[in-house]
Amino acid sequence: MTSHHYEPAALRADYARAGAGVVVCGGLLVLASPLPVVAFLLLALVLLFAVYGLRTWLRQHTRIDVDEQGVRATVGNLMRREIPWDGLNDLRVRYFSTKRDRSDGWLQLSLSGGGQTLRCDSGLSGFPALVEQSYAAARRANLALNPTTVTNLKSLGLASDVEMPL
């Protein structure tokens, strides 16, 4: 069995963005005495950044375990998602670019099966190994993969034997 998690250092920038958003928008809301419409917008932004911070905290406390049976994601005792390999019915690997020339960005793995969907991104420790195990399970299940997934798997050195549809 392998266990994967998000390193706190990898999430530091997300925490900084969430904190800065709450402080700046909250500070303007408290100190500037804005018009009601502007106050409503600032309050909405404070809440949005707070939710982003909470989501980052949840990612930090998420553990993904993989074994021969399947993949499980747990966040303490709060949430648990489990997808057995023999119940896997969809695998997607998407790339999200942060630059126009696509030189920087991150990958997202999405697994579905048994009414559950599990998503994780390349900030997860051991992400390439998780994608490799997931791809092996998809091959055993003879899942049809979309062209975007095949292209991204090939960029990871996988799916070299898969023909791209025309």
Give per-residue pLDDT as tens, 127-138.
999 999 999 999
Average of per-residue pLDDT across 100-129: 89
Average of per-residue pLDDT across 50-58: 95
| CB-CB contact of 159 with 153 (8 Å) | yes
Q: Could you tell me the pTM of the whole model?
A: 0.82
Q: What is the largest CA-CA distance in the chain?
A: 63
| CB-CB contact of 54 with 19 (8 Å) | no
